[in-house]
Amino acid sequence: MHGQLKAWVFDAYGTLFDPFSLQGKAERIFPGRGEALTRLWRSRQLEYTWLRALMNRYADFWQVTREALVYACQSLGLPCEVTHQDELMREYLHLETYSDVTAMLGALQGQRLAILSNGSPRMLEAVVEHAGLKWAFAALISADKVRTYKPSPKVYRLAVESLELKKGEIGFVSSNYWDVAGAAAFGLQAFWLNRCKATPDELGTAPEATVTQLGELTDAC
């Protein structure tokens, strides 16, 4: 089915942009606790999106990310002053890209590329601009438009509507297996970016293919 692809759509955080690249900032603010804070913050951030979606109590990703940070600080017994929150939150607008991102996007030029993310529009625009990647994407698609979060089918449908393509014409790439499972269940051609050789979840779906680096996607074109 790969030959039918007319567009590539990428998850943002953990796929293109490294949420753990702010660990250095966290370590400077909280010496010796930067790694623990960053990892707990990220896991709680994801959990809050799922919980809010299930409760039908939407808040945008900026608010969810701040609330997850407050929880992580409190859980680790760290002072959670607003100035520290603001400093760490600003880092989410300037996350580093993974080392294989720019070359892969360049190799795929000539095809339509987009981002489909839980991130709010402001967050996505800022991180893409900071990385100097505005040239790469035809669209930055935010779950905020439907006021819920992946893996809701409503979010994946945004890619179909925004790009005006059929489900099977879109290749979706994420480093999060639950995200890949959601996209595959919706009907997109889903590819799992498994950089860390993680174990796939048992969710009753499977990706079209699994790659360990983004450069391998060019073989699927």
From 11, 100, 144, 179, the catalytic residue: 11
Residues 6+ apart with CB under 8 A from 164: none
Cα–Cα distance between 180 and 191 in angstroms, integer?
7
Report H helices in 96-204.
Answer: 101-107, 121-130, 153-163, 177-186
Which residue type does 81 have?
Answer: E
CA atoms in the 13 A half-sphere facing the CB of 125: 3
Active-site annotation holds for 11: yes
Q: Which two tokens stand for residue 149?
A: 């979060």
Give catalytic residue positions.
11
